[in-house]
A and B are shown apart, each in its own frame.
Chain A
Amino acid sequence: MTFLNFFISGISLGSIYAIIALGYTMVYGIAKMLNFAHGDVIMVGAYVCFYATSRYELHPFLGVLIAMIVCTLLGIIVERLAYKPLRQAPSLAVLITAIGMSYFLQNTALLLWSSNPKVFPSIIGRGAFRLFDGELSISHITALTIGACLVIMAVLTLFISKTKMGKAMRACSEDKGAAQLMGINVNATISMTFAIGSGLAAVAGALLCSAYPTLMPTTGALPGIKAFTAAVFGGIGSIPGAFLGGLMLGVIEIFAKAYISSQLSDAVVFGVLIVVLLVKPAGLLGKMTQEKV
């Protein structure tokens, strides 16, 4: 039964990674850039939600909604100011700019909200479902996290495959030049991608801090890196890949903590990543592209 408990907490952590990884993977798929500032958008989302609920005493779900709106705008602004002028620049220059943006967000947060950790109130309390005479307990937040991840995944898949905007996104990720010739507004599509990714980051921030209630300006950094790893794990650019990669990473991390060593869990997670990439060099669901000669 403890095994099942660990498994469920793994899935729950993995769901958070998956939601964050979706942001990485969508942006990578379309803009072909690693948005290192994504992890810090999570942190901003969590802070906004924290202040909305604790200072202005709004309903937690309203807080999450406000956080989503703020992060969506933040994502669009960041893209406009820092990334759009570098559309033609070498990818490394964009990467460094994204890192600069990550520092910028962290340090702005430090000035606005100080480095003192805040205790984040769980968005749906600390209760739990008890099953099998209390042997298996699933906290409400765990259930909500897993549910939210499934809903997001389903909605996003429908959005990408059915809507006009989704089709435009897929077209842009295949070939931006051709998409433009077909009358697709590439800049608007990229903005939209950043908006969706950042909005999801806000949800992830609220869920993450509900499960692990310490909120600091650096809160987003490590989950950001891990989610990025998850995106690569599943095959970067692939939406089901981000989902699968996130879940697997979460489960591996929790199991490594439980059965190997909590100090070495990160090493195990990254070790598994390396092994996976050795066997499947483009990630679990990624496509190998062959260069045309």
Chain B
Amino acid sequence: MKEKTKYVPVPSRSILPERDAERAPVLECVKLGITLGGIKAVEDFNLTIGRTEIVGLIGPNGAGKTTVFNLLTKVYQPTTGTILLNGQDTHGMSTMQVNKAGIARTFQNIRLFRNMSVIDNVKTAMNNEMRYNMVSSILRLPNYRREEVAAHRRALKLLSIFDMQHMADAPAGSLPYGAQRRLEIVRALATNPSLLLLDEPAAGMNPSETADLMDNIRKVHEMFQIAIVLIEHDMSLVMNICEGICVLNFGHVIAKGTPDEIQSNPAVIEAYLGRKKEA
């Protein structure tokens, strides 16, 4: 084990981008924390995210980044702290309810509905906006057909953002790795989130795929005007795309700021980038 990082006091700031400053933030975490198996996996996590901000969540392996996502989406219930989503306290909500309230996510180890077709993966995510019941689906009533056609069109449109419309009928599990990652993003978008959480979207991609992904994330951001938080180890992607960056180490936030500030922050360099330079 490496010796524990020294905590250099850093100016922790959460200044929203100018365009979001006037509006209420989409997400506010206050003193969020969880104890897993006696270990404080995340402690005293504070973060405010503006309406249309792109935030990077970085840190060494095991720093608690995915745990933060699991807390936000209520896969784990936090042991301390508050999460305000669009000003609403998510205390006691389930994963499903948090999604309905506006958070959608992807997973580090891709979790697709592998035996279903690509387009059905996307249409499943539109489940809550479809307005027909079991009886009309069994009897194939007109509103079933209308809603299905509409959902199909929208799903194809979403897939076309990532240039995947030609794979619509293939089983999701048979897609190449990069396409599976992209499909997860499309599926998350299909739930109409106001906050999109991407867990290592570029993991396992080659540089050209990563560059395409970066463009696609920008495109999604412009089209939907939503807030995005991404966990990523690819520093060029994070530094390029994110307006704000939050650095975690051993479950604690050690720095927050713009990409420039983070790159020159001594604590971050020691905990994270510094080690990379030695290599």
Contact = CB atoms under 8 A, between A and B. Distances in A.
A174 to B, nearest CB: 15
Contacts of B75: 293
A92 to B, nearest CB: 15
Interface in A238-293: 293
B137 to A, nearest CB: 28
Contacts of B107: 293
B70 interface: yes
Contacts, number: 4
Contacts of B117: none
A293 B34 CA distance: 15
A293 B69 CA distance: 10
B66 interface: yes
Interface residues on B, range: under 10
A293 B108 CA distance: 8
A293 B75 CA distance: 8
A290 B11 CA distance: 37
Contacts of B70: 293
Contacts of A293: 66, 70, 75, 107
A292 to B, nearest CB: 8
A293 B66 CA distance: 8
Interface string B95-114: 00000000000010000000
Interface in B82-140: 107
Nearest to B105: A293
A43 B206 CA distance: 61
Interface string B68-79: 001000010000
B278 to A, nearest CB: 30
A288 to B, nearest CB: 13
Nearest to A293: B75
B110 to A, nearest CB: 12
A293 B71 CA distance: 11
B42 to A, nearest CB: 14
Interface in A192-235: none
A137 B107 CA distance: 64
A90 to B, nearest CB: 13
A35 to B, nearest CB: 28
Nearest to A291: B75
A293 B41 CA distance: 14
B69 to A, nearest CB: 8
A290 to B, nearest CB: 8
B54 to A, nearest CB: 23
A293 B107 CA distance: 7
Contacts of B66: 293
A76 B75 CA distance: 42
4 smallest CB-CB distances across A and B, nearest first, come from A293-B75, A293-B70, A293-B107, A293-B66
4 contacts: A293-B66, A293-B70, A293-B75, A293-B107
